[in-house]
Structures are given as C-alpha cells and as structure tokens.
Amino acid sequence: METVEPGCAPERARRAGGRAARVSLRAAPLAEELRPVRAGLQGGQYKPLTNEGMARIHEAALEALEVIGFANAPKSGVEILAGAGAVQGEDGRIRFPRALVEDMLSKAARNITLYGRDPKHDLHLEGTRVHFGTAGAAVHIVDLEKNEYRDSTAADLYAAARLTQNLDNVHFFQRAMVCRDIADNYEMDVNTLYACCAGTMKHVGTSFSDPAHVKGCFELLHMIAGGEKAWRERPFVSNSNCFVVPPMKFAEESCITMEHCVRGGMPVLLLSAGQAGATAPAPIALAVVQAVAECLAGLVYVNAMAPGHTCIFGTWPFVSDLRTGAMSGGSAEQALLTAGCAQMHHFYGLPGGAASGISDSKLPDMQAGWEQGITNVLAGLSGLNMAYEAVGMHASLLGFCLESLVLGDDILGQVLRCVRGIEVTEDKVSIEAMKQVCLGGPGHYLGSEQTLSLMQTEYIYPAVGNRMSPKEWVEAGKPELLDKAIARKNAILAKAGNLIDPATDAAIRAAFRIHVQK
C-alpha cells in the first residue's frame, strides 16, 4: 500500500482541482474581444527596410513609371489613363508623370472594409492590422489519405471553403485551386464562385478567366446577396486581378475584367506577381521597386475610373531558386520580400496584401512547417494587412492540401500570438501574485487565481498539435500528427453544410449549371 507523506494529499488535491478548472475554462467559449488571438491584430514590429530605404524604393518606382512605363494597354485602358494625364509614347508604352501618380495616391481608398456575408467576418484593413487567408490557383489536390497528387475539383474547392468557415485563424477564403473537372471556362468561373460562397460566410476572393464571364457571375452574386443593391452595399467577394504581366506590361484581358469589376462595385486586388531573377529583378530591393511601380500603375488605372474605389495594393513578388530558375515560395528571401512590401504599403498608407505561407515541400512535413512558420510570422510581424496563400499551399503553389489547411490553423494561431506581443499593464507586472506564492504559499503558480484567469486570454492552445509527454503519447497509442489532421478535417466536413439558403440555392441551380453536389 502506498504511503502518503504529511502534506502531500492536499497538494495533489490542489493540482487536480486546478487541472479540472483549466479544462472547464478551455471548454467555455470566449467573447471575441477576450480571445488571445483574432483577426486584425496590430503588427508592424518587424521592419527590414529603413525609412531611407523606403523613400529610395518610392523614388525608383516613380522613375520607372515615368521612364519605362507600361506596354500593351487595352484600347479602353489607353483612353482611361490618357484622360487622367498619362502619356502614350511613339513606342506605344503608357508613361505616368509623377504628378499623376501623386494625385491618384491622394484619391486612393484607405482604411477599407472587406465584407463577409456575416458581418462578424468583416475585415478592417487599416494601419498594421493583420489577416491571414488562402489564395492561389493550385491545379492539384494533395490527397494524404491516398498519398497522391490528383487534379483538383469543384468538390475539393467546396470542401476547402467549408473548412475555412470553421477554422478561427483563417480569416478569409480566396479561391485556392482550379476546378479541373469542369471543361467549360464559364461554368468553371460560376462554380468557383458558387463553391466558395456555399462553403463560407467569410470574405471570398476569386478570379475570372474571361472578361465575358463577369456579367453572368455578377448575376449569381446578386442572387446570393438578395439583389444588386444589397450586393453594392456589402460586396462580399473581391476580384484577384493580375492586371500586369511582369515586367511592366498590362495584361489586356485582365484589365478589361478589372474595368467590369470596378463598374460592378467589386473590390479589386491589384496583383503584381513577378518572380525575382526571372520576371522581376534579382536584387530583393529592386524586385520590391518593380512590384511597387506595377501596383502604382494599377492604382492610377482604377482611380482614374472611380476615385476612391476599394483596392488592395497587391505587391506580390515571388522568389526564384537562382540555381534552377524554379520558384521558391518557402524561402527566407520570400519572407523578406513580403515584409518589405508590407512596409511599402504602410509608407503609402494603403491597404495591402502579399504572399506568405507557401511551402515548396510536396507534403505537410517538417520542411512545410518551417517554411510556413517563418514566412507567416514575418508577414504578421511586419503588419501585412492581407497575407494570402498562408495555409494549404504546397509544391510552390501547384498543390493544395486540405489537411495542411487544418494544420495551418494551428500555425497561424501561434503566429498571431507572436503578432499580439506582450502587454505590459499594472496588473500583469504586479508582484502580488509572486508574494502570495513565495511567502508562505504553495511555491508554484499552478491553480492560482491569476493563472486561471489568464490561461484562456493570454495563452493559445493547438487544436491538432501534440504537447503530450512521451509517456502520455505512448499510452495514447502514439498518435501521429497527420492522422489527427485527417480526423479533424473529416469531423469538420461531416458537420459543415451549404451556407446558401435552400430557396436561393434552388433558384441558382435553375439558372446555372452547378457541379457542386447538394
């Protein structure tokens, strides 16, 4: 029979009671303002560029716009830009006088809101507020249950949207993969929108493969919104628009699509996605210069049409592995590029977005973990308003993994906790709790009133990550991380239903050929 030393039984009782209280606290939902992490935390602590560096990048970007300009503007774009004061040279290139750029910068929208269909998911893009979400155009799904890469489908996109709806640290859902099971491009664009909106009430981003498709897709959005007026009051979808083909050329069809979206009241992500060492200069600073110049041209374009239209300054330069020319989205250089771009957004006071969280690894393994962790934490600490492609992306944007989306929610929780930083208040630096523990107290802080009161508001806990001791891990059957991710994915999808009301859904299916099953 086990003997008990005097004083030990009360100690165990205190520990057991403290643990039970902690478990009870973790089960109770917190008010949004009390959560340890949430959308819109203030970043900006990390600054790889000096003030002088930002000013030099700005001057170089203005010079590039004046001297080099842009080729391949569509006819409508020439009329819009020339009407605002841009100059088309004999070589056909559109050049932007400094005064024109500065004028349009003064008119550009700031402190914008990207709406969700549910107002609790609205994203307030101001200052250094940080939001993480998906993006990309992966052509494969990384299927962990079958351990294979296969073509991505509309059903996969719908599943990713439903997962995002139920992951607290993924704040928006931009189309993450291509519906390769739909041959007709118009039907693909319609079903992309449908799958995203049916799966989540968070803000959605999408692209259009042809300007002619915009009209029909807006009809779908008006149906979901409850009419055009309701849509224009709270546009819950933005257009991810690659209006530029780096280096310094307009993408004619995308520009026409952008014009349609602006007229239709849709927010626009002005996306410049050069690849350093290939379609952008190899020096990191000069890659930022080109991205800034290209996005400034887009800003002039949009504000010449509709001053103050909701735009996101999408400097989105990627990195090449200069040994091979292949993209390297998970590199330290990518993290620096993204952080530098975030600083330039703050330099202009514009809402901005860039890429983070991409992995070059083919599977959610240790390489994926360090790549996603490093690039996301630098994006968050730099105060990037919209961190795109932050979760789920593998093989340098070629593959999307649903389980990695689930695992990424844990990563982003830790990232956001770093972004939040350390609050120093009178209560939190008072030594009263130390006195109670050290001077005649139990000698530890387990179960103390202060510990229990802060454990849910000061600390964040992984949903899938494993913090067991080796002994507990063995007793639990040696659970593996990917198996837990698969289980959580399946549990969420088993409960997550279609978020378009049945009557509207029936009307949509009568008007469009919807491939996503009910």
pLDDT in tens, 349-370: 999 999 999 999 999 999 999 9
- Residues 323/328/333/337 CA torsion (nearest 10 deg): 130
Give 23's pLDDT tier (boundaries 50, 70, 90). Answer: low
CATH number at residue 291: 3.20.20.480
% the chain with pLDDT above 90: 86
Please choose, from the candidates 486, 516, 343, the residue with its C-alpha nearest in 3D space to the C-alpha of residue 508.
516
Residue 354 lies in a domain: yes
Residue 71 lies in a domain: no
pLDDT in tens, 446-471: 988 888 888 888 999 999 999 999 99
List phi, psi (to 5°) of 222. Answer: -65, -35
Residue 415 lies in a domain: yes
Residue 307 lies in a domain: yes
Residue 210 lies in a domain: yes
pLDDT of residue 10: 40
Residue 452 lies in a domain: no
Which domain, by its residues, includes 221? Answer: 105-421+505-511
pLDDT of residue 19: 57
Residue 25 lies in a domain: no
Total domains in the chain come to: 1
pLDDT in tens, 365-385: 999 999 999 999 999 999 999
The strand pair at 393-394 and 275-276 is best described as unpaired
Please choose, from the candidates 164, 163, 134, 131, the residue with its C-alpha nearest in 3D space to the C-alpha of residue 38.
131
Q: What is the mean pLDDT of residues 232-244?
A: 98
pTM, two decimal places:
0.93
Q: For residue 284, is pLDDT > 60?
A: yes
Mean residue pLDDT of the chain comes to: 94
- Are 161 and 170 in contact by the 8 Å Cβ rule? The answer is no
Residue 246 lies in a domain: yes
pLDDT in tens, 291-341: 999 999 999 999 999 999 999 999 999 998 889 988 999 999 999 999 999
The CA distance from 28 to 20, in Å, is 13
